[in-house]
Amino acid sequence: MSDAYKKAGVDLNAGYEVLKEVKQLSGNAQLGAFGGLFPLAAGAVNHDPVLVAGTDGVGTKLLIAIEANQHTTIGIDLVAMCVNDILAQGAKPQFFLDYLGLGHTDQARVKAILQGVVAGCKQAGTQLIGGETAEMPDMYGQDHYDLAGFAVGIADRADLLKPENVQAGDLLIGLPSNGLHSNGFSLVRDILFKQHDFKLTHEFPELGHDLQTELLRPTKIYVDAILPLLQQHLVASLAHITGGGLIENVARALPTGLSAQFEVGTWPVPPIMTRLAELGNLSRDDLRSTFNLGLGMVLIVHPTELAALTASLDQCQQAYYQVGQVTTHGEPVVFQEGQHA
């Protein structure tokens, strides 16, 4: 291989070794071709098929992983951010591609990152069909990297989830998050490490573990719980709670003129978010427009479908909370004040 390129900071041999590792991890021997292949018949639907695509990253949560030198779950976050968005459209995720840009190809670290990507794809029932690892020493620092992902799903056009499906009187069903997921980390880092001087090893009593463990909890992937609901047409609309928190994302799942009214106190708020509010002197609007507040997905359901929906969630052992309803008055998202959130 090129000695000149290696002297410039790019180790092609290390990249080839990484590719071998990913092939073994994913079980896909076709990885490494110029393009990824996916047989459409494997995900075909019967009537009017529509492909649904989504792309996303992990954001500054990566800086926590880098500081902690813990990279095995950040790939799960990447897959989750993409496939959960596709679910919110009513589509079944089919395949996934990743992009990893870094300053130096440390094979052990890259393997750990991609182990997470493969694990996330397995949780989502998707196939990793390709990706790119780009070593760019003048773009990134020695230990820094960035991740991006791209996923494609499929649905019948008639089955796509649309705000127009929602009616006044529909119910809000929240599926619990696994902590902060992958949003609001610029604010999290500002509060914990700039406004204050906490270390990743610090333990708040209410958490039961150190900050590193809490902050690196992987984003939950909801495919197993939600696909049966989509197949049975039990959901009218769905919001994946990412950047913008409950306020922005639930509003996206509603038609003009209707309001999602949350009953505060009907679900538990993770203690890390309460602690961040105290340390950062955050308002309720700050919290609601930044964090998921313990709800990673909000399902909007016709009352006639509630029994079948909860039975399906029970069957797959997915926890849920009835957190409010859709009304005809008020702002797009309203919170009836309770004891917290």
pLDDT at 247 over 80: yes
17 and 153 assigned to the same domain:
yes
- With a cut of 50, say whether residue 339 has pLDDT above it: no
- Give the number of domains in the chain: 2
CATH of the domain at 18: 3.30.1330.10
Measured between its terminal Cα atoms, the distance across the chain in Å is 57
Are residues 173 and 149 part of one domain?
A: no
- Cα separation, 146 vs 132, whole angstroms: 12
pLDDT value at residue 10: 57
Q: Clarify whether residues 111 and 95 are in a common domain.
A: yes
| Structure tokens given for 19 | 């590719």
pTM over 0.75: yes
What pLDDT was estimated at residue 340?
A: 46
pLDDT score for 38: 80
End of a domain among 126, 144, 159? 159
Q: What is the mean pLDDT of residues 301-316?
A: 98
Looking at the chain, how many residues does it have? 341
Same domain, residue pair 128 and 263: no
40 part of a folded domain: no
The answer to whether residue 116 scores a pLDDT higher than 60 is yes
Residues 176 and 298 in one domain: yes
Given 128, 159, 190, the domain boundary residue is 159
Report the C-alpha gap between 320 and 211 in whole angstroms.
26
Residue 316 and residue 328 in one domain? yes
Q: In this structure, are 168 and 188 located in the same domain? A: yes
234 in the same domain as 217: yes
Query: Using CA atoms, how far apart are residues 24 and 79, in angstroms rounded to an integer?
Result: 19
Q: Is residue 39 part of a domain?
A: no
Q: Domain range spanning residue 128? A: 3-33+45-159
Dump the DSSP string for 100-166.
EEESS--HHHHHHHHHHHHHHHHHHT-EEEEEEEEE-TTTS-TT-EEEEEEEEEEEEGGG---GGG-
Q: Is residue 38 part of a domain?
A: no
pLDDT per residue as tens digits for the range 33-51: 677 778 776 555 667 899 9
99 and 71 in one domain? yes
Say how many CA atoms lie within 13 Å of 65 toward its Cβ.
Answer: 28
